[in-house]
Structure 1
Amino acid sequence: MSAHPTNTDVATPPPETGPASSADGLRAGLKNRHLSMIAIGGVIGAGLFVGSASGIAAAGPGILLSYALVGTMVVLVMRMLGEMAAASPDSGSFSAYADRALGRWAGFSIGWLYWFFWVVVLAVEATAGAVILEGWMPAVPQWAWALIVMVVLTATNLASVASYGEFEFWFAGIKVVAIAAFIVVGGLAVFGLLPGSDHESVGLGNLTAHGGFLPNGPGAILTGILLVVFSFMGSEIVTLAAGESENPRRAVSRATTSVIWRIGIFYLGSILVVVSLLGWDDPTIAEKGSYVAALDVIGIPHAGQIMNVIVLTAVLSCLNSGLYTASRMAFSLSERGDAPKAFGRTNSRGVPQAAILGSVIFGFVAVWFNYQWPDTVFLFLLNSSGAVALFVWLVICFTQLRMRGILLRESPDKLVVRMWLFPYLTWATIAMISFVLVYMLTDDAGRDQVVLSLLVAGFVVAVALIRDRRRPGTTRDPLSEL
């Protein structure tokens, strides 16, 4: 039993004096509908649409267990992050909390690693979007499409936080509607209620008809975990954005408590439909992608082009949020004296212009690396940032262990969201994440990601420790601003 029996409840948040003010330079330009859609869309990345085929090929229908296990891990991490973010909304989120709970070196290290992760993602997503757009309009070269996409979304982020929120509202809305429609239509086909689909080959029987539920053995579940874990990255964005919302505590409380049904419906629901419509070993899954293959079975015309539109939307959403997230992390690091001072300044619209431009410049450089040296320099960037998501989740866990005590001593009334069964589930989550990292070392592709990510993380931590010794300074305490 937890030492705090009420920690399974979400208390009524104390009244706020108004929207997150511009005391730190940022403005509360995000509305509740923006935050709600960012929270929902944040768990639906392009990886779900384009990466699920490899997971199905590796684990068969058992990939559902892989998604369920990783989803459970994410739910627990988000609950921990929600506890801290609801008590102290901050544009630096877990980096600011790690700064406070674990030490300045921790906030510096995880903040810069997270920034690095997202600026590399900018290059990946810009290139992915350019490939789709070039397929539609080949007269424009791929590099030009990547440039156009980056420039447009940079302009969106520079305009105001409200413009970012509005774009993300519609991007996320399209993803949500698309995946919901897929689940509904696919579900009707699975149960034989949709005219035109091949009812003889679809149905729940596909879950066991092709070698059983675990055709490649129980160990394939772990392989599936490695293939799907990174498609969940982005759930934490809502806690960064909450600091610029009208009612940050309410937004964080809602987002972190609804993550269970979001993952359950969008991930488990849609994958269940795919492996019910098709046998897991159907060659069309690998050839066309899992969702396109499923749409073909249902009898939806032009399934490939429809999915391209949805994937492009997911890519643009990821780009939009990635640039926002990287810039806000750079802004927070600057506020704490861990990044150039210019990154901490905002313009008359409350936008950290230098932080946005600094992040997008690195993104442009990474795009260039992708075209010039895709198999060397850019591959190194990809692998060296590949395990950062897991590092972030680990830091959130260890930070929450310390922050709970700090909050209970200093601001118990701010604990409007509490981690379940504290500290037992926190330690269980740490064990789960650590196991995934260790298991990655046994996988050829995963090994490179873990080793290179650890090397980069070690370098950043070393820089942080050297800075601490040479220039000991006071840490800005986000709780002092409550």
Structure 2
Amino acid sequence: MALTSTSTTGTTGPRVLQRDVGFWGLMFVSLGSIIGSGWLLGALTAASIAGPASIISWVLAAGMLLLLALVHAELGAAYPMAGGTARYPHFAFGPLAGFTAGWMSWLQAVTIAPIEVEATLSYTAHLSWVSSNVTILHPDGTLTTSGIGIASLFMVLFTLVNIAGVSLLADSNTVAMLWKTLVPLLTVVVLLLLTFHAGNFTAGGGFAPYGAHGIFAALPAGVVFALQGFEQAIQMAGEARNPQKDISRAVIVSTVIGTIIYLALEVAFIGSLDPGHLLHGWANPIGAGGFGPYAQLASAAGAGWLAVTLYIDAVISPSATGLVYLGTSSRISYAMATDKALPRSLGRVSLRGVPLISIVLALVVGELALLPFPSWQSLVGLVSSATVMMYGYAPVALHALRLRNPDRPRPYQLPAWRLLCPSAFVCANLIIYWSGFQAEWKINASLLLGLAVFALTRARLPRDQRPALRSRSALWVWPWLVGLMLLGAIGRYGGTNLLPDWWDMAAVTAFSLAVYYGALRLVLPAEDVAAAVAADDSPQA
């Protein structure tokens, strides 16, 4: 089945996704995913864990994710198709490996929309005019019945916009993106001008009060979650007007802009804190019970108008990100359905050129995620782990496709790819390790659920329509995922602390390289890779 078409829906033949999104739409889809609830809450979370050294956490995460973004930029431009993160491992290692990557992609994407809604409600729930009329949160930070009802209204709105078509999705996100970019920049300028204490960068125990452990622990606790999202342009590649030219640019530009904004926000946040709140450490840098960090800092600085603007943005920024993720999660399930890894109904396209049933599925799963689960900070660690695990497939797939599909036109080429691909894989695995053992075993457990769905889907297909599993080529996936979990179990991030500092990172690095080069020995033959690519290829734009 062809994934895309440059024409509108016809009266005959299968309905397909429509190529209606240009560079700015793609770039804003990625940047809009990067600038969501992470900018409202990420600086507070990172500073609480790492102190002023959280700046290093942002720099480190930015460098790692930029490397992964460059890998995705080449893949997205060379193989522009909907739900690309699920497709690349499928081409190189077959349907079974492709499904495991696709399941991770879908799992993280489908849960981010409700997380963004919860962030909005958490940020605004403590406003006096809100709390006097409705109780949104329980004392433990989970949603009340009223909170779930309000959150559900947001989810339904996201769904309706996505059903209306990709043009409305891109246009509405572009308008929101202009606001979402200006407000953080305005916040940085105002806080730096009105209240800035250089001494804060050495207060409360020094620049790095929790040492290297705090720097690394801050990454999955909110930093990586904030910076992730560059891949959204790739997920929408099947609806790009000029994907070979625009996708790589959209990925790289959005990542760079997002990184600059987040670094500036962290510096402004730390410098604007009340020094009195740091006398006893960084556990409550904005005061006990505080949740809206920038709004509180703006009010304390006498910029009440900025505080009001930030509370408005607490609705707009996460909502726009949730809107995008609900749409892109449906493209991933659509992609897996066309690969016969999920039920065929998820691959059906409506008269408006969108995967309608996949969009409705995203709504249903999102509603389940709104049930009284842990708070925003607890959920982002889990989602960050799933996201980076999804990212981890890409460097291996790129190296494999360079070897087996070398003649493919590559509008953007990753420089020094033989060095940077394994480096990117190591970076992904380090972030997963820092996420902690609790997140790792839960992600693996969710994969078992996904494999059950995969097996049921295959069982319902006629035998002659089941694609070969290529299970041998997927053999590297299981040692990788289980090995990371075991390293987490004996590591220093939720494990038994058996591995000492720095030796644990050396162990993860060595393990990652062994898996990486082992996987390259299991790549499908060139003719099988070419056949898989041809079967799912889009018409050249």
Matched, 1:121 2:115: no
Task: Confirm or deny: 8 A CA contact 1:86 1:252 kept in the other structure.
Answer: yes
Residue of structure 1 equivalent to 2:439: 449
Aligned partner of 1:438 among 433, 453, 469? 433
Residue of structure 1 equivalent to 2:257: 262
Whichever residue aligns with residue 225 of structure 1, its letter is L
Cα distance in 1 between the residues matched to 2:21 and 2:204: 48
Task: Confirm or deny: 8 A CA contact 2:90 2:97 kept in the other structure.
Answer: yes
Cα distance in 1 between the residues matched to 2:381 and 2:400: 31
Counting only pairs closer than 5 Å after superposition, residues 44-55 of structure 1 correspond to structure 2 as 44-55=35-46
Task: Confirm or deny: 8 A CA contact 1:91 1:243 kept in the other structure.
Answer: yes
Cα distance in 2 between the residues matched to 1:264 and 1:355: 31
CA shift for structure 1 position 124: 2.6
Task: Confirm or deny: 8 A CA contact 2:20 2:167 kept in the other structure.
Answer: yes
Cα distance in 2 between the residues matched to 1:20 and 1:229: 38
Residue of structure 2 equivalent to 1:212: 206
Cα distance in 2 between the residues matched to 1:449 and 1:218: 20
Cα deviation 1:17-69 (Å, max 9, x = unaligned):
99588787000222433223223222212022113212102211110111111
CA shift for structure 1 position 94: 1.6
Residue of structure 2 equivalent to 1:402: 400
Cα distance in 2 between the residues matched to 1:468 and 1:148: 35
Residue of structure 1 equivalent to 2:244: 249
Whichever residue aligns with residue 91 of structure 1, its letter is A
Cα deviation 1:186-227 (Å, max 9, x = unaligned):
34x1xxxxxxx35xxx24443235543213323321122232
Counting only pairs closer than 5 Å after superposition, residues 26-425 of structure 1 correspond to structure 2 as 26-130=17-121, 138=133, 141-187=146-192, 189=193, 197-198=194-195, 202-227=196-221, 228-278=223-273, 279=275, 281=282, 283-284=285-286, 287-301=290-304, 303-367=306-370, 370-371=371-372, 374=373, 387-408=385-406, 410-411=407-408, 414-425=409-420
Cα distance in 2 between the residues matched to 1:327 and 1:70: 27
Tell me the SS of whatever aligns to 1:268. Answer: helix
Cα distance in 2 between the residues matched to 1:260 and 1:128: 22
Aligned Cα RMSD in Å?
A: 3.2
Q: Which runs of 5+ in 2 are unaligned?
A: 136-145, 469-530
Task: Confirm or deny: 8 A CA contact 1:330 1:355 kept in the other structure.
Answer: yes
Cα distance in 2 between the residues matched to 1:142 and 1:468: 39
Higher mean displacement: 240-249 or 312-321: 240-249
Aligned CA distance change for structure 1 residues 70 and 139 (closer, same or farther; 3 Å): closer
Tell me the SS of whatever aligns to 2:342. Answer: coil
Tell me the SS of whatever aligns to 1:284. Answer: coil
Cα distance in 2 between the residues matched to 1:380 and 1:56: 16
Cα deviation 1:67-107 (Å, max 9, x = unaligned):
11111111111111110111121111121111101221122
Task: Confirm or deny: 8 A CA contact 2:81 2:538 kept in the other structure.
Answer: no
Residue of structure 1 equivalent to 2:522: none
Aligned residue pair count: 442
Higher relative contact order (CA 8 A, sep 6+): 1
Task: Confirm or deny: 8 A CA contact 2:50 2:218 kept in the other structure.
Answer: yes
Aligned CA distance change for structure 1 residues 290 and 426 (closer, same or farther; 3 Å): farther
Task: Confirm or deny: 8 A CA contact 1:34 1:165 kept in the other structure.
Answer: yes
Aligned CA distance change for structure 1 residues 344 and 291 (closer, same or farther; 3 Å): same
Higher mean displacement: 57-66 or 144-153: 144-153
Task: Confirm or deny: 8 A CA contact 2:103 2:447 kept in the other structure.
Answer: no
Cα distance in 2 between the residues matched to 1:283 and 1:257: 33
Tell me the SS of whatever aligns to 1:218. Answer: helix
CA shift for structure 1 position 466: 9.0
TM-score normalised by length of structure 1: 0.82
Tell me the SS of whatever aligns to 1:77. Answer: helix
Q: Which runs of 5+ in 1 are unaligned?
A: 1-16, 190-196, 441-445
Task: Confirm or deny: 8 A CA contact 1:95 1:106 kept in the other structure.
Answer: no
Tell me the SS of whatever aligns to 2:286. Answer: helix
